[in-house]
């Protein structure tokens, strides 16, 4: 085992262990009012060896500020929110060409101008977009990847993307071509690190052989535990960091959604997802009840426990909750202050494991 890899495991394990303590009930005011400044937010490593990246232990998903989460806030509010996140120590920002499309990268590019060099900027390619609309097709053709990266760099107002993900595996293009193209972009200095999203084991191995993969970004939360089947073990084996997207299960785990919740159908994918149909929302509610009960007894919110649950799974996991609200951002950073004993986590897991999850996460499963 390389020295770097040993360090990756050791450093990360320490970080994870620090979240496990004897139960000491914290008052909710302690948890919610704690001011976290940039120097205080802990860091984690995604990946190992030369391809590892040090990032803040929580990231910020910026998608919802422009796309798929109903109402789009005023642009200045979102810029202030992103800057507030930086002030709080969140230096791992997630966007993609397709969010908007394009407008989210433009927003993020504007917001990060004052501190671009001090953050890890992530974007993604892989969808076919024509006349400002997604065609529904995938496109990871090497020529297309290069075009997308040039356009993303302009929108992000930067000369390098720190972590570039393939958004979805494109079955038409061999993974070796995709990884090879990103490898060239890395050698040209336009990209620093390579990531995949929702890729299956075979694609991950193929990609990693050609160009080291620093992070896999896939859906993972208490409600969507699929990566525990075979993906997390593979990431550990290969030294690839894991970035859970939709870590709050698109707001469901916060308790803010119910069976009557109305989504803005023109800009929200949740009304199309089986798990957001009224019967599934009701059937899965036991999970929210458990999080709320454990949280209320200890001074944490359901959202904080849902994020902390991810953080204790592995030291190289870095969730990227999305929000359009400063108060939610502040609340979410409080997940780093959650301290539960190993025993309490196992009791919570035991209760959660008894709940059968109703409804698929997507109407048609992503390509692998």
Ligand X SMILES: NC(=O)c1ccc[n+]([C@@H]2O[C@H](COP(=O)([O-])OP(=O)(O)OC[C@H]3O[C@@H](n4cnc5c(N)ncnc54)[C@H](OP(=O)(O)O)[C@@H]3O)[C@@H](O)[C@H]2O)c1
Active site positions, annotated: 99
State the Cα torsion 291-295-301-304 to the nearest 10°: -70
Residues 6 or more apart whose Cβ sits within 8 Å of residue 104: 62, 63, 65, 66, 67, 95, 96
At its nearest, how many Å lie between ligand X and the CB of residue 351?
21
> Are the C-beta atoms of residues 105 and 96 closer than 8 Å to each other?
yes
Report residue 51: phi and psi, to 5°: -95, 10
Q: First-to-last CA distance in the chain?
A: 29
75 burial (CB, 10 Å; 0-12 / 13-18 / 19+) is middle
Match 């230096």 to its residue by tokens: 91
Q: Which is nearer to ligand X, 136 or 189 (CB)?
A: 136
Q: Which is nearer to ligand X, 181 or 323 (CB)?
A: 323
Q: Which is nearer to ligand X, 9 or 280 (CB)?
A: 280
Q: CA–CA separation, 288 vs 305, rounded Å?
A: 10
At its nearest, how many Å lie between ligand X and the CB of residue 183?
21
Q: Which is nearer to ligand X, 248 or 340 (CB)?
A: 248
Binding residues for ligand X (CB under 6 A): 61-64, 69, 94, 167, 197-198, 217, 245-251, 254, 256, 303, 320-325, 328, 331-332
How distant, in Å, are the alpha carbons of 80, 264, 328, 362, 366 from that of 105? 15, 22, 22, 25, 23
Residues 6 or more apart whose Cβ sits within 8 Å of residue 28: 299, 300, 301
At its nearest, how many Å lie between ligand X and the CB of residue 309?
13
Strand pairing of 161-166 and 133-138? unpaired
Q: Which is nearer to ligand X, 48 or 249 (CB)?
A: 249
At its nearest, how many Å lie between ligand X and the CB of residue 353?
21
At its nearest, how many Å lie between ligand X and the CB of residue 188?
24
132 burial (CB, 10 Å; 0-12 / 13-18 / 19+) is exposed
Which position's Cβ is nearest ligand X? Answer: 61
> Are the C-beta atoms of residues 203 and 231 closer than 8 Å to each other?
no
Q: Which is nearer to ligand X, 9 or 312 (CB)?
A: 312
DSSP string for 176-203 = HHHHHHHHHHHHTTSEEEEEEES--HHH
> Are the C-beta atoms of residues 97 and 129 closer than 8 Å to each other?
yes
At its nearest, how many Å lie between ligand X and the CB of residue 254?
4
Length of the chain: 368
Q: Which is nearer to ligand X, 63 or 352 (CB)?
A: 63
At its nearest, how many Å lie between ligand X and the CB of residue 87?
18
């Amino acid at each position: 085992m390389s020295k770097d890899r040993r360090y990756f495991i050791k450093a990360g394990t320490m970080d994870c262990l620090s979240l496990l303590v004897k139960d000491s009930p914290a008052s909710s005011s302690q948890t919610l009012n704690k001011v976290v400044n940039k120097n205080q937010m802990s860091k984690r490593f995604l990946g190992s060896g030369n391809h590892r990246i040090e990032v803040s232990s929580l990231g910020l998903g910026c998608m919802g500020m422009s796309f798929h989460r109903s109402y789009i806030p005023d642009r200045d509010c979102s810029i202030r929110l992103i800057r507030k996140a930086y002030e709080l120590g969140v230096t791992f920002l997630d966007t993609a060409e397709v969010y908007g499309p394009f407008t989210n990268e433009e927003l993020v590019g504007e917001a990060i101008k004052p501190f671009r060099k001090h953050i890890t900027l992530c974007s993604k390619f892989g969808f076919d977009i024509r006349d400002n609309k997604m065609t529904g097709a995938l496109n990871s053709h090497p020529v297309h990847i290069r075009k997308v990266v040039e356009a993303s760099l302009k929108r992000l107002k930067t000369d390098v993307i720190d972590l570039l993900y393939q958004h979805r595996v494109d079955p038409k293009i061999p993974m070796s071509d995709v990884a090879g193209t990103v490898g060239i972009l890395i050698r040209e200095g336009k990209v620093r690190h390579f990531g995949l999203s929702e890729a299956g084991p075979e694609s991950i191995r193929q990609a990693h052989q050609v160009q080291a993969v620093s992070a896999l970004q896939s859906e993972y939360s208490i409600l969507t535990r699929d990566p525990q089947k075979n993906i997390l073990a593979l990431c550990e084996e290969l030294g690839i960091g894991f970035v859970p997207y939709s870590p709050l299960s698109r707001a469901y785990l916060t308790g803010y959604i119910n069976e009557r919740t109305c989504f803005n159908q023109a800009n929200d994918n949740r009304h199309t997802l089986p798990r957001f149909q009224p019967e599934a929302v009701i059937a899965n509610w036991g999970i929210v009840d458990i999080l709320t009960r454990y949280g209320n007894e200890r001074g944490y919110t359901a959202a904080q426990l849902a994020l902390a649950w991810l953080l204790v799974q592995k030291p190289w996991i870095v969730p990227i909750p999305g929000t359009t609200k400063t108060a939610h951002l502040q609340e979410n950073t409080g997940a780093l202050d959650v301290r539960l004993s190993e025993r309490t986590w196992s009791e919570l897991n035991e209760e959660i494991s008894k709940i059968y999850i109703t409804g698929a996460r997507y109407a048609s499963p992503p390509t692998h």
